[in-house]
Chains A and B, each alone.
Chain A
Amino acid sequence: MAILDKKKSKVSDEVPSASMADIAFLLLIFFLVTTTFPKDKGLAIVLPEQGEDVQVSQRNILHMIIMPNGIVEIKRGESPQVQQVSPNAIEGLWRQEVAENENMIAAVKTHPDAPYRYMVDVLDALHMAGAERISLQLFEG
């Protein structure tokens, strides 16, 4: 009979469970060490302090007027000439302007009805072009 043929085996047929907790803790510590929490991301700017009013020569100002449809109107100083560009073109334009006049200040004037994202697009382009002197204003006109 088959039962009688069965040999007694000395090898245990159980999975050893004594080290299971150790394995679990090893995994735990591994994930603890490798987990990173997402940091806040964004475009940093520095707001002017209250009552801070700096007079700047019109020659050093590049006006960027953001219209509600996303088109940006570029005006240099007091000259009445208006150049219409898309936000994508601002990066190259700014690099050109700074090459000519390194004291240039970007005056970003946004129309009250323009969506926030157009302002972010322009700010993004200026950041990409390495602009540091940026003034954010509301377009009144």
Chain B
Amino acid sequence: MLALEVENLTKKFGDFTAVDDISFKVEHGSIFAFLGPNGAGKSTTIKMLTTVLMPTSGKISLNGHDVMKDSNEVRKNFGIVFQDPSLDDDLTAYENMEIHAVLYHIPTNEMKKRIEQLLGFVELWDRKNDLVKTFSGGMKRRLEIARGLLHHPKVLFLDEPTVGLDPQTRNHIWKYIVQMNKDEGTTIFLTTHYMDEADKVANVIAVIDHGKIIAQGTSKELQEKTKTASLEEAFIELTGHEIRHEEAAPNQRMRMMRRMRR
């Protein structure tokens, strides 16, 4: 059984096609990197894979469950660290962890142990009773990651998890994730703009641009295909030198268009 099987997935917002007929497979226990410039369709894809956005067409199956038809079952099988913040700022770090543990049915005694371990891991244990709104950007990011690792899902989505973190922390976190992948066979689906991270941890890399998957393979295969010497060069070769605008999420853009038409 595959961890993820995506067939002809498409998402349109009005006449803008954010994700254009993509298909790919992710093997169980692998680390799959989904790379692309800003606005390529990465986050839109992840939203569809994680049941919070309905595709325009196509099929997704996660651990054998149909994502559209069986979304409740699918939600039991994955965990996610979102690209943008999803913490409750008016609660403490511990309370945010606690809510997550309850939502994911972690038994109480196990919960306390894991929260302590993970908050310790991201070095926030001594700040556990502070409100999240007093945290810096990096601390919030670390807390999000700790929360995402709290339950042990079969498939873990990491949408640019290490954005804004220093190299030491990034290193520290990837080590943990790779270990988790080895020990528990957790399938990891990640996106990142740090090519060195993808190069180091991923077994398979897919490059998406303008909503289409334009290349897929190991880092070495991508380098051979583009006749380049590093993943970063291969990535630029594949996606071009043009700088992309960091735009509002496509659905927000659509809202703006709707508003203008009014």
**Are A and B bound to each other?**
no
Q: Which residues of A contact B (CB under 8 A)?
A: none
Q: Which residues of B contact A (CB under 8 A)?
A: none
